[in-house]
Amino acid sequence: MLDTFLRRATEDLPVYITEVRDAFQTSGSRPFHIQVMLYDKTVRRFALRLPGTSTQAEADFVASYVHATIYNILSSLGALRMDLYLSPADTGLMDLARNLDRIFQTRLAKSQRTGYGKCLNVNERILAALTGGQVQFGFRILDIAQEPEVKESEKSTESQSVFQTLPAMTANRMVLGMDIGGTDIKLAVSIDGQLAVCKEYDWFPALYTQAEQLIDPVLLLTRLLRAAASLYAAGKTALLDRTVFDKDATLDDMAQGIAAMEQEAGSALRNFDAIGLCFPDVVIQNRIVGGETYKTRGMRNNPDLDYESEFAKVTYLSDYLKEYVTPDGVVMNTNDGPMAAFTAAVEQAAVGADVSRGFFAHTLGTELGTGWVRPDGSIPDIPLEVYNFIIDLGSFTQKQYPCNDVRSINNFNTQLPGTLQKYTSQSGVFRLAAKYLPVKDPSTYQQALDLGLLQWQGDSLVVPIEPVDARKPCLEFFMEKAAEPGNEVCREIFREIGEYLAITWRETQYILQPETGERTLFGRLVKNPVCFQLICEGAARREPALKQYAADGSLANTALMQQLDAHPDYTVAQFAQAVGAVYFGCLGLSIR
């Protein structure tokens, strides 16, 4: 068993954590039980079984499986502490357990942590937000003979009424929905239940070295939409400055247009009744508390500032936005993944679908976003950084490339190999294209080089981001190629993305145990129906029972989403989450 896994890894083939777990749980004889105390002080138990080893390579592989499992748990559920139950007589496993403090760098400062330790940075910021810093995470090693029983938590069976009531709450209100992503920001305004104004703005926050560079565009766009919506509500649409809604309008262009529109609005200028937004980082109780994503890399790498102090400014983005809501208005913030799930739940409930088991969704774009909404409409206060999941313990050649090389499986933020960031998002498409095209379809590969979508920089193959960000055009290029009849190599790329999503499904079911087993997919990778179908074909290779749905026009059931579906300039695939954020803002009005 271990020989087979190691042989595949050295042949640069993937070795999925799910198949390793299946094999170990079947034939492993050494117990290694993990009990995780969660933020709400409930306990989850993961009863691992591990095989015996006869070589250092085998022992290292088994250790990599344990490290990945713990890392996936901490990245998604978080923890107050983690108790490890094993036999004190098993010296090999005792050494593995004692070594976890070093691997996860529990005693280092956040600024000194690398690799596995990065998930503890997020965990510590969450503990600071939830407990005021009174709790410090740690591992405890205990005798398995003394392991207590863990009672399984009961599943929620709440009704779906909360989702059904939200569309009606847009009546007589002006609500802004905002979808903040890694490559663009999309905004939509509902006025009395009508989709009034939409705006898309491209940006690249990973290059920003100061918090203000990230915060100021968001506030400026909010101000822009407030001015435009106020004119719309006052029946003065003829006075809208249409040029500022051009996708390529600069911040300076928008600032000038805002000033003019605010002057035209005069006393009709009004604040929003609610703002709903999603942000691509961990959000706990309206606070952005992650700080380890690719989007804040520029600030993290800036030697001229204290990152913790700088990131703290971003943490309170929701508070800055309160300037643009009425005195009794609300600002509701969550991660982009939960927003996708929330959006899907509202749309499904609108046509009477059964969402009593909650909703689970992924966004496939710059990163893999993950959203989980419980049956009662609540969003769990957990990290849910599924894009950080380690799913591949093999592919040894591909982990030798630096993370910025498209051929690499190493995470941009942690440098850990095998994480979903390089498998199911746009980076996965780029990596597979670089892996297969040079040999199997050299003409398409050469075309990508000639168009500047792929570029050699020294020994590294990259998708250039300067002077022009080519990531979106590069993804579109490969999606168009996959949609061409007969282009089997590019079509296989998207089938492999589907396989990765099937592995993701298995891992999320194992760790998170959501009430629902279905997945709804948002984002650019499913915008093309051919690519979505290929993804589903690939997923069925591993999980034939997995049901996946694309967030396309078929999701347009509420009045706002139907208006978006009929819009001549925008699509549901692009702006669904911005509209969903409108309803999320209304949720805040319903529970205040």
Encode the chain (592 residues) as per-residue pLDDT tens digits: 899 999 999 999 999 999 999 999 999 999 999 999 999 999 999 999 999 999 999 999 999 999 999 999 999 999 999 999 999 999 999 999 999 999 999 999 999 999 999 999 999 999 988 888 889 999 999 999 999 999 876 655 554 468 889 999 999 999 999 999 988 999 999 999 999 999 999 999 999 999 999 999 999 999 999 999 999 999 999 999 999 999 889 999 999 999 999 999 999 999 999 999 999 899 988 999 989 888 899 999 999 999 989 999 999 999 999 999 999 999 999 988 899 889 989 998 999 888 888 889 998 988 898 999 988 778 888 999 999 999 999 999 999 999 999 999 999 989 999 999 999 999 999 999 999 999 999 999 999 999 999 999 999 999 999 999 999 999 999 999 999 989 999 999 999 999 999 999 999 999 999 999 999 898 889 989 999 999 999 999 999 999 998 876 567 999 999 999 999 999 887 899 999 999 999 999 987 6
The tokens for 296 are 């804040």
Note whether 529 and 465 are within 8 A (CB).
Answer: no
How does DSSP classify residue 362? E
- DSSP codes of every residue in 375-390: TTS---SS---GGG-B
d(CA 157, CA 522): 26
**Ordered structural domains, the chain, with CATH:** 2-146 (no CATH), 161-351+557-591 (3.30.420.40), 386-550 (3.30.420)
Q: Cβ distance 427 to 474 under 8 Å?
A: no
Query: For residues 579 and 343, is the Cβ–Cβ distance under 8 A?
Result: yes
CA-based radius of gyration for the chain: 24
| Single-letter amino acid code for the residue at 32 | F
At residue 448, the 3 state secondary structure works out as: helix
Q: Which residues contact 526 (CB under 8 A, 6 or more apart)?
A: 364, 532, 535, 550, 551, 552, 573
* CB count in 10 Å sphere of residue 203: 21
DSSP for 252-288 reads: HHHHHHHHHHHHHHGGG---EEEEEEEESS-EETTEE
The whole model's pTM is what?
0.82
